[in-house]
Structure 1
Amino acid sequence: MQKILQVVCVVLVAAAVMFGGRWYMYVARGETPYDEVGIALNGYAPAPLRAWGCHKMQERFFGQLPPYGCAGPDGRSWL
């Protein structure tokens, strides 16, 4: 039973590192705010992380339309 719990924990940590790392690369270093995988990962992020990510991308891509998930009610302004 302990071995199964250990394997499950390792898999969960590995998934968090893999998906979290990919999300961070999209937010902090992506070439475009319209990367489909990054948009999907940002959509699954908790609200505080998503807000931070949208703010970070707004600083990096000033003057561009926001990607899905970072758009305000009118679809043209950032959150």
Structure 2
Amino acid sequence: MFVVIIALAVLGTGGYRYYAWVNNTAGAADPFDEVGIDLHKMMPGFVQDWGCSQLKSHFGDKTLPPYGCQSETDPAQWP
């Protein structure tokens, strides 16, 4: 039971941290947070797509896309 509680706590913390990164709740000037990018790489494809669209809505006209959210043809562009 203890292991299950610890696993849920870790998953909950990681999920909250990812959600906070893609929604920019901290008011960051850019999306280049290493922890957020690492969490983004571990998410399933549909969550990554949602995360990239959220990041684009917050940072699309201000900066380059972070790793994992670049266009396949031009890494300097949002998809």
Return the structure number with greater helix share. 1
**What is the alpha-carbon root mean square deviation over aligned residues?**
1.2
Give the TM-score taking structure 1 as reference length: 0.85
Which residue is equivalent to 1:12? 7
| 2:68 is the counterpart of 1:69 | yes
Deviations 1:7-61 (A, max 9, x none): 1211111011111111111111251211111111111111111110000010111
Moved over 3 A (4+): none
Equivalent residue number for residue 34 of structure 2: 36
Alignment length (residue pairs): 74
Q: Which runs of 5+ in 2 are unaligned?
A: none
Residue 62 of structure 1, CA deviation: 2.0
Q: Which has the larger radius of gyration?
A: 1
CA contact (8 A) 2:60 2:78 kept: no
TM-score between both structures, scaled by the size of structure 2 = 0.85
